[in-house]
Structure 1
């Protein structure tokens, strides 16, 4: 069990020197995806374009008339970066960057912090009023302010922990089944279980990148649309 978490270790030992070279797997996407636009329009490019169109429609439905130019490109980049990092971790001996809170917090925290600072600077009164839902009794207002504040503060951490936990859980199951395969009598059943679990992990890799992207866009839209909604009323 000592090597169970070795696949999540970002350190690589070269000639006795520990280097964090495993993080390179997180930036390979920068060199892979741009090549699609320099090649003939094949199946991969068609699939990417289809996903981009579907996600763009989802993001436009989330933001509506409050969409700022370039917002959809930001969240599309989030989606493809996270999905590629998740799939890279499914290859043998490849470091899973999206299973570390260092990466997931680096994605969720700046976006949340930037939107909070923008709201505090440009729509402070509306943001404070948003902490108390309309129709709340006066006696419950202090409690609701605390609940809404805590709910807003923990959002980037729940996004980061959800993504990392889902990646870690699936990879641990794959590691456990893979380590028992050679010692098991029913190797065929273990192999079938590994294949099914790998298919499930592929689905989880796509779903988690979609969930992270959509939830981030919903959180951002909630903050940006507070002041505009109040003005329209």
Structure 2
């Protein structure tokens, strides 16, 4: 039962490779028409979203490094596209796998840590002991802050993949019960599924935003 339940997250293999992972880069096909098609309302909406994100990320990052917000806007776009495309039937959800989420979170965190400890060593050491900590608690605070820094990539990756898995599992469980229900209960089930799909759409947007904002905050700490 459990193997069948989680089979929707299993990347099937063909020709000695997993073709399902190609859904991750399908967004690249959308980029070329942007340069020769007349801007649509969807494109104007996306431009509005990216400009709002740029203003917010620029406030968090500061104006020390120009163009640094583009990295986090691209990260937001990649995660949001993969979250949304996973809501369609028979399309593989790559962000529900730790391979995808950890490969996004770990290089970011590692680059932030290397940059901070190499260029701002005193600032990074000062971060280990919050201001106003009693001298007796300083050794414990150093241990706690070190552990919290070490688990940051894991929390970023697990938060994203767990939220994607939870919603898809709930929709799979509800969908599997449709064959044994009466016609009246099926109507209720369909309404619940539609509401759950709306919730999953909101979760797909919120989780990509949370991932990008937390990455931005971690980056601003090392500057």
TM-score under structure 2 length normalisation: 0.94
Answer whether contact 1:98 1:167 (CA < 8 A) is retained.
yes
| 1:72-83 pair list within 5 angstroms | 72-83=69-80
Corresponding residue of 1:165: 162
| Divergent runs of 4+, >6 A | none
Answer whether contact 1:7 1:94 (CA < 8 A) is retained.
no
Answer whether contact 1:86 1:205 (CA < 8 A) is retained.
yes
What's the CA shift for 1:119? 1.1
SS at match of 1:11: coil
The superposition leaves residues 150-190 of structure 1 with CA deviations (integer Å, 9 ceiling, x where unpaired) of 11111111011000000000000111111111221111001
| 1:129-168 pair list within 5 angstroms | 129-168=126-165
Corresponding residue of 2:24: 26
Answer whether contact 1:132 1:141 (CA < 8 A) is retained.
yes
CA distance in 2 between counterparts of 1:190 and 1:18 reads 39
Corresponding residue of 1:215: 214
Residue 40, structure 1, aligned to residue 38, structure 2: yes
Corresponding residue of 2:81: 84
Answer whether contact 1:181 1:187 (CA < 8 A) is retained.
yes
Moved more, 127-136 or 99-108: 127-136
CA distance in 1 between counterparts of 2:33 and 2:149 reads 39
CA distance in 1 between counterparts of 2:76 and 2:33 reads 18
CA distance in 2 between counterparts of 1:90 and 1:133 reads 42
Residue 118, structure 1, aligned to residue 115, structure 2: yes
Unpaired runs of 5+ residues, structure 1, are: 225-233
Corresponding residue of 1:51: 49
Answer whether contact 1:59 1:214 (CA < 8 A) is retained.
yes
SS at match of 2:177: helix
Corresponding residue of 2:94: 97
Answer whether contact 1:87 1:202 (CA < 8 A) is retained.
yes
What's the CA shift for 1:36? 2.4
What's the CA shift for 1:9? 0.8
The superposition leaves residues 94-152 of structure 1 with CA deviations (integer Å, 9 ceiling, x where unpaired) of 11000011110111111110010111111212211221112211111100000110111
Unpaired runs of 5+ residues, structure 2, are: none
CA distance in 2 between counterparts of 1:100 and 1:78 reads 16
SS at match of 1:182: helix
Aligned-residue Cα RMSD (Å) equals 1.3
CA distance in 2 between counterparts of 1:65 and 1:199 reads 37
The superposition leaves residues 75-96 of structure 1 with CA deviations (integer Å, 9 ceiling, x where unpaired) of 1100110000001111111110
CA distance in 2 between counterparts of 1:77 and 1:34 reads 16
